[in-house]
Chains A and B, each alone.
Chain A
Amino acid sequence: MQRLRRLVWKEFLELRQDPRLFGLVIMAPIIQLTMLGYAATTDVKDVPIVVADGDRTPASRNLIARFDGSRTFTVIDTVTTVTEVDRFLQTGEAWIALAIPSGYGRSVQDGQPVSLQVVADGSDSNSTTVALGYATSLVGEYAAALTADLRAARPQAAPAAAPGIDFRIRVWFNSQLESRFFMIPGVIALLLLIVTANLAAMAIVREKELGTLEQLNVTPLRRWELIVGKLLPYGLIGLIDVLLVTALAVFWFEVPFRGSFTLLLATSLLYVMCTLSLGLFISTVSDTQQQAMMTATFFFLTPMIYLSGFIFPIENMPRAIQYVTYLIPLRYFLVIVRGIFLKGIGLDLLWPQAAALGAWGAVMLLLAVARSRKRIA
């Protein structure tokens, strides 16, 4: 135990001498959080829309004002003919063009149905789908209001309202549909992976490069002491990052925290075991820090990040790839973190994920230790 403490202490001393590390450990979480908290929003807001107003009556201007006044749309320009909108769509200045036909004002007044043409730039398929949905419901509400007005003024001219389904949608867990609430808890999982796996791998490879690993090997340290001593400091750093990000998420970004904090810490510990074992494994397949960095970033971290469901939902992936995602520890931890933050669920529902993390970590650790025995001892 004494030796272990010395080794951990030595590691911290070395960390202190590396000023860039401070940046990586403290600045990286903040930059990532800011980017993901503010930029990584798949919400659709202020969609630029161009209007071809072929009518130019108070009625058409009223409709345009409705679009402009909504949070989803911003009217960037009003032109008179439909051909003029092409330029806006081609340059991406507008995503959606709304064409109001001439005679629109009169038809609406007379209770004659009118149809508006909406042209959407489909290149951003995701935003377009959402924006089109908003446009349809905005016009629907507008039509309902017009019909009501019309019926109040002249009952015989107004079309009768069709009976239908009173369809109520209730959103659970994130009722304002803020994508931040989904992204930010994920940052904890992402950061732990990047910081701990990378740092652990580089710390060991650095000793290899400098030749000091040989020296450590000839000391009376036992193998497990060496491994634990090298990994422990990075585990601690990882936990500090968890606290930092959780605090920022809750107090700055106001992400709801509905679950148990103890459970979050406990599962983080389990997850950090996975990422550190991964770091150890990477260190055994690399000879230089350069290689370790490249291997970690391109062959492990990037695929894991993309296939974990962090940004792109796993359920949208093809079946074969969905099976691959079961091999990624980040996947399980994301379910855990989001479950704890947003749903407030406990271990009774999350135990399969926790068990998967434990198993993954154990296998990776065994693999890494087996390899390192061959390589360095």
Chain B
Amino acid sequence: MTKALAVYRKELRQISRDRRTLTTIIFVPAFFLLLYGYALNWDIRHITLAVQDRDGTPESRALVAAFVNSGYFDRVADVYAPAELNRLLDVDIARAALVIPEGFGRDITTGPAPQVQLLVNGDNANTATTVMGYAANIARGAGAALAPSDGMTAPLVSVEPRIWYNPELRSTLFLVPGLIAYILMITAVISTALSIVREKESGTMEQVRMAPIDTFSFIVGKSIPYFLISLASAALIILAAMALFGLPMRGNWLALFAAMSLFIAGALGTGLLISTAAETQQVAFQAAMLTSFLPTLMLSGFIFPISSMPHALQLITHVVPARYFLIALRGIVLKGTPLRLLWPQMLALSIYTLAMLTLASVRLAREKR
């Protein structure tokens, strides 16, 4: 244990001396948190709308007002010719265009139902889908308000939606837990891998090998500083997100700590494993990017829903540890899920951690010989 402590102290000293890495470790979480907290979201507001009102009656103006007053649409242009509409959509001045036909005001009271057209720029499918949803709702509401009220009845079956856990549907709350997984991957995998490979590159690994330190003490001493740094940065992100963005903490802190520790331990194991395979820091960095970084970003459900992926890819996501970690993290933080419901995720994380640490120590022990 004293040997492990010695390695630990040496590592800490080395970390505190390497300015740029230290800045990176501190800068990256802060940067990402602000980025996801303030800049990046899918909460679609202020959709630019061009209006072609060929009717010009109080009724048609009421329909346009319904769009603008909803808060989702900003009226950016009034058009009189269809060619003008094309240009506005082509150069992205307007994302949607509302075309109200002549006779709208008359037809809405006497029937037949007037045909109103909405043109949507579909290049970003996601935004377009949301825009369509908003628009259809507004049109339905406006149609009901404008049409003569007699004979109106509620539809036979209707939906009464209720949204749990994130009732304002703010994407920040969804992205911050994912961000934690992402940052832990950066700090834990990359810094561990680089720290060992650096010793290899500078030749000090030979000295460590000669010193009377067993593999176990070496691994423990090497990884504890990074474990603590990672845990601290995760805790900081959560606390900052709670203070700045109103992230709720509905679950148990202890459960959160357990899930994070397991995940970090696994990530450190991955870093160690990479370090045994890589000879240069460049290779280590690339390997970390490909095996940990990209999958955590793309295949964990961090940003893109797993259920929408093709089946082959969905199978691959089962070996991405961040997938399990994210379910656990979002469950604990946003939903207050008790740990006993999360046992499949915790089990998967334990298997991952155990496998990584075992593989890494076996390879390290072989290397030492």
Residues of A participating in the B interface, judged by any CB pair closer than 8 Å:
20, 24, 31, 35-36, 38-48, 63, 74, 87, 89-92, 108, 111, 113-130, 132-133, 135-137, 139-140, 142-144, 146-147, 150, 159-160, 162-175, 177-179, 181-182, 289-291, 293-294, 298, 303, 306-307, 311-313, 315-318, 321, 335, 338-339, 342-343, 345, 349
Contacts and interface: CB of A to CB of B under 8 A. Distances in A.
Contacts of A42: 42, 125-126, 304-305, 308
Given A121-B164, A169-B135, A170-B117, A143 B157 contact: yes
Nearest to A114: B157
B62 to A, nearest CB: 11
Contacts of A315: 46-48, 95
Interface of B: 20-21, 24, 27-28, 31, 35, 38-48, 63, 87, 89-92, 95, 108, 111-130, 132-133, 135-136, 139-140, 142-144, 146-148, 151-171, 173-174, 194, 281-283, 285-286, 290, 294, 298-299, 303-305, 307-310, 313, 327, 330-331, 334-337, 341-342
A116 B156 CA distance: 11
B122 A35 contact: no
A147 B156 CA distance: 7
Nearest to B35: A306
A334 to B, nearest CB: 10
Contact of B160 (A24, A117, A126, A137): A117
Contacts of A147: 155-156
A139 B165 CA distance: 24
Contact of A298 (B24, B38, B42, B163): B24
Contacts of A150: 156
A139 B144 CA distance: 18
Contacts of A167: 116, 118, 135-136, 139-140, 143
B309 to A, nearest CB: 5
A170 to B, nearest CB: 5
Contacts of A135: 159, 161
29 contacts: A38-B310, A39-B299, A40-B298, A48-B307, A90-B336, A90-B337, A111-B156, A113-B154, A113-B155, A117-B160, A120-B164, A125-B43, A137-B136, A143-B156, A144-B155, A164-B113, A166-B115, A167-B135, A167-B139, A169-B117, A170-B117, A170-B120, A171-B122, A171-B132, A172-B89, A173-B121, A298-B28, A316-B42, A318-B39
A173 B157 contact: no
A335 B160 CA distance: 39
Contacts, number: 318
Given A146-B157, A162-B144, A179 B119 contact: no
B357 to A, nearest CB: 26
B341 A91 contact: yes
Nearest to A92: B327
A333 to B, nearest CB: 15
A373 to B, nearest CB: 24
Nearest to B139: A167
Contact of B170 (A87, A91, A125): A125
Contact of B126 (A47, A119, A126, A343): A126
A221 B20 CA distance: 34
Given A20-B286, A166-B116, A31 B327 contact: no
Closest 8 CB pairs of A and B: A164-B143, A122-B166, A133-B133, A165-B143, A174-B122, A125-B169, A42-B126, A171-B122
Nearest to A122: B166
B39 A89 contact: no
A126 B171 contact: yes
Contacts of A117: 160, 162
A108 B156 contact: yes
B151 A162 contact: yes
Nearest to B167: A122
A123 B128 contact: no
A303 B123 contact: no
Contacts of B173: 123, 125
B159 A118 contact: yes
Contact of A142 (B121, B157, B164, B283): B157
A224 B153 CA distance: 78
B113 A163 contact: yes
Contacts of A125: 42-43, 166, 169-171, 173-174
